[in-house]
């Protein structure tokens, strides 16, 4: 039975990955900070899908948490989903520096370290995959969040090229607005975002797994966001920045 380790596994896209992979017959390693909630999710998956779920409570903005997950990855997994992340309310200059550093620790250092912990075993077995959850924001300019997600995309593409010639795949997943707890946790007002732009986490995961099977290196779920990114790449950077600022004010 293949094994998948998912960070940020108790809600949103992480929980959707857990459901999809459990249905596909994966044994799961669920990682998040809240152990009580992890246990509850693991029990739900066991009852619904009959799969075993290992619970690993870890705060990935701490070295202790990262080291615990690195050790587990060193034991071997077939799929790593680096999904844990968060956003900030407000403009860059209004956010305390320590909060910006926490974001970089989680979005960049954790993705780097956990990918590096998983890949040697995958390469030795000549099979496996890493999905790094980024965002459509990676293709636009909006503070440190979009900058960190742009790093995830570039890192994932570069690592995928490093794995060329093997059966190990690395993919960046770049969803748009998704109905999850993400915005509530950041105290963000969602009322200014039209319903047209919202995606479901389950649909995002379904498209991600399809793209992974096809060998896609950067997955952008849903046609509407593929068009937005394609158009955005053709526009001047200054114009994109103005659009991003106006959207943020809304």
**Cα 101 to Cα 96: distance, rounded to the nearest angstrom:** 9
What's the CA gap between 171 and 206, in Å, rounded?
14
Active-site residue identified among 145, 155, 182, 225 = 145
Q: What are the tokens at 167?
A: 């059966």
User: Where in the chain does DSSP place strands (E)?
Assistant: 3-7, 27-32, 53-57, 79-82, 128-133, 168-173, 218-219
Token pair, residue 99, equals 């909060």
Angle between helices 12-23 and 35-49 (to 10 degrees): 30
Is 225 assigned a catalytic role?
Answer: no
Angstrom distance (rounded) from CA 200 to CA 104: 26
Catalytic residues: 145
């Amino acid at each position: 039975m293949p094994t998948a380790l998912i960070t940020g596994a108790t809600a949103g896209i992480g929980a959707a990955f857990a459901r999809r992979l459990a249905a596909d017959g994966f044994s799961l390693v669920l990682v998040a900070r809240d152990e009580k909630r992890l246990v509850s999710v693991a029990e739900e998956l066991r009852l619904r899908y009959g799969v075993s779920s290992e619970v690993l409570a870890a705060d990935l903005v701490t070295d202790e948490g990262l080291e615990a997950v690195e050790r587990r990855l060193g034991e071997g997994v077939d799929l790593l989903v680096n999904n844990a992340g968060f956003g900030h309310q407000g403009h860059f200059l209004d956010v305390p520096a320590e909060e910006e550093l926490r974001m970089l620790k989680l979005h960049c250092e954790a993705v780097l370290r956990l990918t590096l912990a998983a890949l040697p075993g995958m390469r030795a077995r000549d099979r496996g995959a890493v999905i790094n959850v980024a965002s459509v924001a990676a293709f636009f300019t909006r503070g440190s969040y979009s900058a960190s997600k742009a790093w995830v995309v570039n890192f994932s593409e570069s690592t995928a090229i490093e794995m060329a010639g093997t059966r190990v795949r690395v993919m960046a997943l770049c969803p748009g607005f998704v109905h999850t707890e993400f915005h509530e946790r950041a105290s963000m007002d969602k009322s200014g975002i039209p319903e047209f732009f919202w995606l479901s986490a389950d649909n995002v995961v379904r498209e991600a797994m399809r793209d992974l099977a096809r060998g896609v290196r950067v997955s952008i779920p849903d046609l509407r966001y593929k068009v937005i990114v394609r158009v955005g790449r053709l526009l001047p950077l200054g114009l994109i920045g103005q659009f991003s600022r106006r959207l943020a004010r809304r």
